[in-house]
Structure 1
Amino acid sequence: MKRVLLLLADGFEIYEASVFIDVIGWNLTAGNGETELFTCGIKKETKSTFNQTLIVDFLLDEIKIDDFEALAIPGGFEEYNFYAEAYNNKFTEIIKSFHEKEKIIASICTGAFPIAKSGILEGKKGTTYNQNPVRQETLRNMGVNVVNEPIVLETNIITSWNPSTAMDVAFLLLEKLTNKENTNLIKKKMGF
């Protein structure tokens, strides 16, 4: 079984988290059945961007990196204090640990910021929210070579620029965990 860890900070965008849950879940039920997703946060109850509360499966301190093949990180809103937890040392350390083990890291929108904060994107290509130039400039100031493309793949790290890319990122993650044929099957079954 290939397990995906969905890393959630307070203020995470629920749509961006849900695409990972759905695509990985659809594969478990209607695809090759080889993927599972678990949620994780700094605390047991994590609030989304619009104040929905999610009870996570694991706390960061409980995670054993070797139990997972991939890390998924949705973005979030500054107005809902996303960066307070996303920039937390525990949060960035788990990102570094996944990278050191050469595991897949997939992010959507501002989910690129904690990846950059961890240092693993320094001098590498990446992207983030493209509807406000401040976001891309912030990523650039964190040492990332910002590419103005919807999805950027840099070794095992996937970044994307806004919620419109969310499903494509989730499907790309599934393809990396399984294969293109299986991913196309899930896309078809989901109506894409």
Structure 2
Amino acid sequence: MRTLSDMPTVALAATDGMLHFELALAHEVFAADLTSTVANWYDLVVCGAGPVRLGRFELRPDHGLDQLVHADTVIVPGWSDVAVTPPADLVDAVRAAHEAGARVASLCTGAFVLAAAGLLDGRRATTHWAHTDELAARFPLVEVTPDVLYVDNGSVLTSAGKAAAMDLCLHLVRTDHGAAVANTIARRLVVPPHRAGGQAQFVTTPVPVQDAPLTALLPWVAQRLDQPLTVADLAKQANMSSRTLGRHFQVSIGSTPLQWLLTQRIRRAQELLESTDDSIEAVAAATGMGTATTLRRHFHRSIGVPPDTYRRTFRG
């Protein structure tokens, strides 16, 4: 038995010099108590080599780094000084965990630890935008993608900095337990339930401010996802041209109106597939996709599996 408990184990790899924000953020997501409502929820453990200094705080891990090899998922938080080589015992433990079959995810500059372990060689990866050039220079075998929130390579995942770490953690929950559970966590933490990994890192205003033109538009669209809305329809409702609307979306959300609209339709389809017995045709109609064929095409492209498979996975 390779896990530390009967539940899927998420292990936070902690060592001196890590950023406490990313570590605490991951703890908030995976230590949430959903065991009464979610089957196979996570058992979160912290693994480190003795007491860990995190700025002015001291953390006492549950286990040593050698126990990472028994985890199902290993989270490597941000590394405070990328100019310093990560500790060899941390790098070796992360590499061993991946070789044993663990899914390994880095938050922010934790990507430097994964790169040092060789887990990013030949793979796309990202990190905080301020350090993408350094990551590319030090690890030329890594395909650094500087302008995304996170990259999912299946067993190896990397995220950009700070808030993007939350996006990746919610993405992991969504992958394991579905959109409804991820949305529950997001509501508890008062954060956006989903931002696609391919969204731009550097967004001037990640969430529309109270008086922004999009503040009234986004809820209006969310209530009408069953309708065949177009960008022109959104622009008309917002009382602006399509070009001006596009600029507002890029500044406030980091994507085009059409990309955002499609994402909302897919998220709604996920919720319906998880919570209802509606046919694929009915789900397509309820999400404005028109036909089951259109839904299947976009759903498979976005989620990676057909709607039928997704439903069996999260309602099995």
Structure-to-structure mapping, 1:41-190, within 5 angstroms = 41-42=48-49, 44-48=50-54, 50-61=55-66, 63=67, 65-66=69-70, 68-78=71-81, 83=84, 87-131=86-130, 135-140=131-136, 141-142=138-139, 143-148=141-146, 149-190=148-189
The corresponding residue for 1:16 is 22
Q: Where in structure 1 are there 5+ consecutive unaligned residues? A: none
Looking at structure 2, the residues matched to 30 and 187 of structure 1 have their Cα atoms a distance apart, in angstroms, of 18
Which range moved further: 96-105 or 2-11? 96-105
The structure-2 alpha-carbon separation of the partners of 1:109 and 1:37, relative to structure 1 and needing over 3 Å to count, comes to same
Looking at structure 1, the residues matched to 98 and 149 of structure 2 have their Cα atoms a distance apart, in angstroms, of 22
Equivalent position amino acid for 1:54 in 2: L
The structure-2 alpha-carbon separation of the partners of 1:27 and 1:105, relative to structure 1 and needing over 3 Å to count, comes to farther
The corresponding residue for 2:239 is none
**Does structure 2 conserve the Cα–Cα contact (< 8 Å) formed by 1:129 and 1:136?**
yes
Looking at structure 2, the residues matched to 31 and 41 of structure 1 have their Cα atoms a distance apart, in angstroms, of 30
**Equivalent residue for 2:46, pick from 31, 39, 44:** 39
Structure 1 residues 44-103: Cα deviation after superposition (integer angstroms, max 9, x where no partner): 21011x221111111123x1623x210001113119x9x45xx22221122222222332
Looking at structure 2, the residues matched to 120 and 181 of structure 1 have their Cα atoms a distance apart, in angstroms, of 31
Looking at structure 2, the residues matched to 14 and 29 of structure 1 have their Cα atoms a distance apart, in angstroms, of 26
The structure-2 alpha-carbon separation of the partners of 1:186 and 1:64, relative to structure 1 and needing over 3 Å to count, comes to closer
Looking at structure 2, the residues matched to 55 and 92 of structure 1 have their Cα atoms a distance apart, in angstroms, of 20
Give 1 or 2 for the bigger CA radius of gyration.
2
**Equivalent residue for 2:11, pick from 5, 11, 22:** 5
CA deviation after TM superposition for structure 1 residue 156, in Å: 1.6
Of all paired residues, the percent bearing the same amino acid is 25
Per the alignment, in what secondary structure is the counterpart of residue 58 of structure 1? coil
Equivalent position amino acid for 1:57 in 2: D
Per the alignment, in what secondary structure is the counterpart of residue 78 of structure 1? coil
CA deviation after TM superposition for structure 1 residue 8, in Å: 0.9
CA RMSD of aligned residues (A): 2.1
Looking at structure 1, the residues matched to 56 and 189 of structure 2 have their Cα atoms a distance apart, in angstroms, of 28
**Does structure 1 conserve the Cα–Cα contact (< 8 Å) formed by 2:105 and 2:157?**
yes
TM-score (norm 2): 0.53
The structure-2 alpha-carbon separation of the partners of 1:3 and 1:169, relative to structure 1 and needing over 3 Å to count, comes to same
Per the alignment, in what secondary structure is the counterpart of residue 111 of structure 1? helix
CA deviation after TM superposition for structure 1 residue 169, in Å: 1.6
Q: Which of the two has greater strand per residue?
A: 1
Looking at structure 1, the residues matched to 114 and 157 of structure 2 have their Cα atoms a distance apart, in angstroms, of 10
**Does structure 2 conserve the Cα–Cα contact (< 8 Å) formed by 1:71 and 1:106?**
yes
Higher relative contact order (CA 8 A, sep 6+): 1
Looking at structure 2, the residues matched to 10 and 181 of structure 1 have their Cα atoms a distance apart, in angstroms, of 36
How many residues are aligned here?
Answer: 181
